[in-house]
Amino acid sequence: MAMITPERLLAAGTMTDPTPPKLLVDGLAVRYESAAPGQYACQGIEFRLEPGDRLTVLGPTGCGKSTMLKAIAGYLPIAAGRVEVSGRAVSAPGQDRFVMFQEFDQLFPWQTIRSNIVYALKARTKRRSEKMRASEMSTRADELLSMVGLAGRGDLYPGECSGGMKQRVALARALAISPEVLLLDEPFGALDAQTRRRLQEQLLGLCERLDTTILFVTHDIPEAVMIGNRIMMMSAAGRVTNIYEAENHDQVALEEHLRDELRSNQTRGPGAQNPTDASAPPKRAGLLGWAKGWR
């Protein structure tokens, strides 16, 4: 059974923590307009991430992982609960969050990959009212390209890049924006196994180096365990069933356990996406900020 530590008491809001978490998701529920009354794509989602946390999200297909991510990004309205970044409520997209999707076409095709990154640097300096000369931006863009294994390739256009290269550029661009929270929705899903592995390693290295907070949706259990310091499992009903602290578990045993849990979560359990009373807010998961043990 999981111990109640001071950290968990803090997380549960029973003590006062002066520093707001990097990302707070508290009782989040999202409903599409076309859905039946009272039917939520995800509901009762609760977690909090501190700087440098990497939460990976697993769950059966259609359980609401992308929906949750889009709501956190501010692209979808919140039906219940709240989302905060560093204590600021999220109600629309903002530069404090950056989303990276699986599609390779997030770059401006008419600009070189270096210019794509310079564009992001301009956005960041404007947001922070910083000053950076054009030559500095160009140098910084080349540094970022080197960090993702694309040294000396800055003059290429997106149309001249492979899928894996474009995802590297997208990653470099995300890092150039330097968001408070990086949201990734199966970013490497369409890549071959070798490229995927290399990008996973690069992402992990960069996140550790830059202390980036990430929320990473994936279907791939080894990827979830490799990237995440926390792994969140969702049920077909769009609810959180468990959050694991990766470091507390043997990697192989955890992967096996997650495989079993994912299999049993395929079936829609009690409290599925259809609370009977449409006006009532969906029930909370009761997992805010702490990881349920499974041993």
Ligand X SMILES: Nc1ncnc2c1ncn2[C@@H]1O[C@H](COP(=O)(O)OP(=O)(O)OP(=O)(O)O)[C@@H](O)[C@H]1O
23, 28, 41, 117: which one binds ligand X (CB under 6 A): 41
**Interacting span for ligand X (CB under 6 A) from 4-12, 54-62, 78-86, 254-262:** 54-62
Nearer to ligand X among residue 197 and residue 219 (C-beta): 219
66, 106, 115, 265: which one binds ligand X (CB under 6 A): 66
**Interacting span for ligand X (CB under 6 A) from 48-56, 65-73, 96-104, 134-142:** 65-73
**32 makes contact with ligand X (CB under 6 A):** yes
Total residues binding ligand X (CB under 6 A): 12
Give the distance from CA 233 to its chain's centroid. Answer: 13
Rounded Cα–Cα distance for residues 293 and 216 (Å): 21
Per DSSP, 290 falls in state -
Rounded Cα–Cα distance for residues 163 and 103 (Å): 9
**64 makes contact with ligand X (CB under 6 A):** yes
**154 makes contact with ligand X (CB under 6 A):** no
**67 makes contact with ligand X (CB under 6 A):** yes
**44 makes contact with ligand X (CB under 6 A):** no
**279 makes contact with ligand X (CB under 6 A):** no
Rounded Cα–Cα distance for residues 7 and 142 (Å): 41
**241 makes contact with ligand X (CB under 6 A):** no
Residue in 46, 61, 47, 44 with CA at minimum distance from that of residue 275: 44
Residue 219 near residue 225 (C-beta atoms within 8 A): no
Per DSSP, 157 falls in state -
Nearer to ligand X among residue 32 and residue 110 (C-beta): 32
Nearer to ligand X among residue 22 and residue 65 (C-beta): 65
Number of Cβ within 10 Å of residue 128's Cβ equals 11
**Interacting span for ligand X (CB under 6 A) from 15-23, 61-69, 129-137, 198-206:** 61-69
**Interacting span for ligand X (CB under 6 A) from 60-68, 88-96, 111-119, 132-140:** 60-68
Q: Name the helix (H) or strand (E) containing 168.
A: helix 163-177
Rounded Cα–Cα distance for residues 238 and 10 (Å): 26
What is the footprint of ligand X within residues 182-221 (CB under 6 A)?
219
Residue 248 near residue 215 (C-beta atoms within 8 A): no
Residue 148 near residue 116 (C-beta atoms within 8 A): no
37, 62, 77, 269: which one binds ligand X (CB under 6 A): 62
Residue in 149, 138, 140 with CA at minimum distance from that of residue 171: 149
The residue ranges that bind ligand X (CB under 6 A) are 32, 34, 41, 59, 61-67, 219
